[in-house]
């Protein structure tokens, strides 16, 4: 069965960096686009970034553009999110999610990890 397991969250000071990881199993990771989404405490969902199956194509939400970077290692079945210049408003549970469609992103998310909490606070 499909499993997505995030790690790397924690408490970090404003302006610092953090890297999240998402270990995938139960499907052919290298054939699917992958996404990161987040949810601030008690708030709704926000899409963050997408990466194509081969890692060449990436897109970001305006709120993180220029600060966050999505990447993947298909040999390790792992997705990453490098977060730089963190702000208090980046505080959220970060989820990795699998795109529903093979090859080209369809931007529907059929499997989600359980999330990892990032808290940006001094």
Partner 1 sequence: EIVLTQSPATLSLSPGERATLSCRASQSVSIYLAWYQQKPGQAPRLLIYGASNRATGIPARFSGSGSGTDFTLTISSLEPEDFAVYYCQQRSNWPLITFGQGTRLEIK
Q: Which is nearer to partner 1, 80 or 95 (by Cβ)? A: 95
Number of residues this chain uses to bind partner 1 (CB under 8 A) = 22
Q: Using the rule CB under 8 A, which residue among 28, 85, 114, 121 binds partner 1?
A: 114
Strand 78-83 versus strand 18-25 pairing type: antiparallel
Q: Using the rule CB under 8 A, which residue among 44, 56, 66, 122 binds partner 1?
A: 44
Position 68 contacts partner 1 (CB under 8 A): no
Applying the rule CB under 8 A, the residues between 81 and 110 that interact with partner 1 are 95, 100, 105-110
Q: Give the DSSP letter string of 69-117.
A: EEEEETTTTEEEEEE-S--GGG-EEEEEEEESSSSS----EEEE---EE
Position 54 contacts partner 1 (CB under 8 A): no
Residue 116 and residue 109: Cα distance in Å, rounded?
A: 17
Nearest C-alpha neighbor of 44 from the set 4, 5, 92: 92
Q: By CB under 8 A, name the binding residues for partner 1.
A: 44-47, 50, 59-62, 95, 100, 105-115
């Amino acid at each position: 069965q499909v499993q997505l397991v995030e790690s790397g969250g924690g408490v970090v000071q404003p302006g610092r960096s953090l890297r999240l990881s998402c270990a995938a199993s139960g499907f052919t990771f290298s054939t699917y686009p992958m996404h990161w989404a987040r949810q601030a405490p008690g708030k709704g969902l926000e899409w963050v970034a997408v990466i194509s199956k081969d890692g060449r194509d990436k897109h970001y939400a305006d709120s993180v553009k220029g600060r966050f970077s999505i990447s993947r290692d298909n040999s390790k079945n792992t997705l990453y999110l490098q977060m730089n210049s963190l702000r208090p408003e980046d505080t959220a549970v970060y989820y990795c999610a699998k795109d529903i469609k093979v090859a080209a992103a369809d931007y529907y998310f059929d499997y989600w990890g359980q999330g990892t909490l990032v808290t940006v606070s001094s």
